[in-house]
A and B are shown apart, each in its own frame.
Chain A
Amino acid sequence: MLRQIINYRRFIVLFLIVLLVTVLLFPELQKRPIYFLGRPVVFVISGLQKGLTWIGGGFGNAWEGYINLVSVRRENERLKQDLARLQNETIQLQEAALAHERLRELLDLKKTAAHRLLAAAVIGRDPSNWYRTLMINKGSRDGVAVEMGVITPAGVVGRVLKAGPAVSQVLLITDRNSAVAALIQRTRDEGLVEGTENGLARIKYLSLLADATEGDLVLTSGLTGSFPKGLPIGTLGRVTKKDLDLFKQAELTPRVDFSKIEEVLVVVSLDEQK
């Protein structure tokens, strides 16, 4: 009797399962309601899936990245050393290329200039904030003397202030104690370039009739003995005239970036070189 009941129940269960599968297979029942019921389950299961995948992946990564690759650390160290060495070499090569470019410009200027020039390297700057000077590695032994002009391919740098046997000090045109006779290229008006408090320069004693405007190029006039005529000094900024002043003056932006000078040329003689 019991066996019959069990067989009967088995049959019912089997029948219900087949029926359920059959019903679920119906296209009409593939639509939203049933799928909607499955969502929470999918959500929970997929969350677990993700968790397990993450753990498995992490373990795999840990295995592959830290445990199984004993040699990678050594290789990494070696590659880092190689990279540092190559970066260093690249910087040195870039420096050499830049130095070559600067020296080539200096050499070109030295060859083409009508006057005698002496190349020198900048070895230091003024220790004080009150003066704008440079130290160069050429002195009286090399033919450098006080008051000689100092230039770069970009333009006028300054004048030799002190000349020791092996080193010299150059007063920049941006120093407030510096004065260089100049003229405006376009209008031919003459003036005097001197340094300002803020490390720039200005041109003073321009005639009231001077038609100087912003952007005009200022050159050496050749009236002071240090520089030949026509070397670029800078470009004019705002031109001003105070009431009752007899002259105009203008701000001047030097052509040379004094914070980046590494090599200069000393105008040893204004005589034409042979």
Chain B
Amino acid sequence: MNRWTYVLIVLLLVPVQTTWLNEISLHAVKPDLALLLVYFTGFYAGEINGLLAGWVVGALMDLFSGGPFALKIATLAVAGLLSGLMGRFFLNTTAALTMGMVFLLSALNGILVFSFHQWVLGGIEFTEAVRWTILPEALYNMAAGGIVFWAGVGRLNIKKSRLDEAPFQSR
């Protein structure tokens, strides 16, 4: 993918996430496009790029979020790193595998956010958090991940970068 296209996607991410995506929210839960972008970046471009993408996208999200600054940076950077490490095990992927990995990553991301809240503020019941936020979000992200894979990655024929070549080179 062209570097400038990627930058454009990153810049459009927050406006889309904060406006249009509310139209498709179910019980106030919507897909997390930032997590999807970080997952695909990490999986296809390696853990370092995933980590960097998580940092940048997380910072943008934190600016517009009601949570403490750097929470999204931390959780998305971890997500980018993990998706990159997961990507090392697969040469290529399918929609089903993508959905499964996005589900796991989203659930882990949710548990990290919950742990942070519990540590800083406390008073949140884990079962309630799973029921109302973590699980619905993971399921929604899983579905959105499948759609993104089917509509974007699969059709655009984006290949995983090899370890010895720099990803996101401008062409």
Contacts and interface: CB of A to CB of B under 8 A. Distances in A.
Nearest to A198: B132
Nearest to B16: A127
Q: How large is the interface on B (under 10, 10 to 19, 20 to 34, 35 or more residues)?
A: 20 to 34
A130 B64 contact: no
A222 interface: no
Interface string B54-81: 0000000100111100001000000000
Which of A126, A131, A171, A196: most chain B CB closer than 10 A? A126
Interface in B128-157: 128-129, 131-133, 136-137
Contacts of A125: 18-19, 22
B66 A161 contact: yes
A133 B132 contact: no
A161 B66 CA distance: 7
Given A135-B18, A197-B129, A198-B132, A128 B61 contact: yes
Contacts of A259: 22, 25, 28
Secondary structure class of chain A's binding surface, majority of residues:
loop
A129 B131 contact: no
A176 interface: yes
Secondary structure class of chain B's binding surface, majority of residues:
helix
A133 B136 CA distance: 19
Interface in A109-147: 123-133, 135
Interface in A156-177: 161, 169, 171, 175-177
B64 A124 contact: yes
A176 B19 CA distance: 22
Contact of B65 (A123, A126, A196, A199): A126
Contacts of A161: 66
A127 B27 contact: no
Contacts of A129: 28-30, 32, 133, 136-137
A175 B117 CA distance: 13
Contacts of B66: 126, 128, 131-133, 161, 169, 171, 175, 177
B14 interface: yes
B121 interface: yes
Nearest to A161: B66
Nearest to A175: B66
B14 A197 contact: no
Contact of A127 (B29, B34, B113): B34
B97 interface: no
B65 A127 contact: yes
B136 to A, nearest CB: 8
Contacts of A199: 27-28, 132
Interface in B1-38: 14-15, 17-19, 22, 25, 27-30, 32, 34
Given A135-B18, A198-B132, A177 B121 contact: yes
Contacts of A126: 18, 64-66
Nearest to B130: A197
Given A124-B19, A259-B28, A130 B67 contact: yes
B91 interface: no
Nearest to B123: A176
Contacts of A135: 18, 64
Contacts of B19: 123-125
Contacts of A177: 66, 121
Interface of A: 123-133, 135, 161, 169, 171, 175-177, 196-199, 259
Which 5 residue pairs are nearest across A and B when measured between Cβ atoms?
A: A131-B66, A124-B18, A133-B66, A197-B132, A199-B28
Interface of B: 14-15, 17-19, 22, 25, 27-30, 32, 34, 61, 64-67, 72, 113, 117, 121, 123-125, 128-129, 131-133, 136-137
Given A128-B32, A130-B117, A131-B66, 8 more contacts: A128-B66, A129-B28, A130-B133, A133-B66, A196-B128, A197-B124, A197-B128, A259-B22
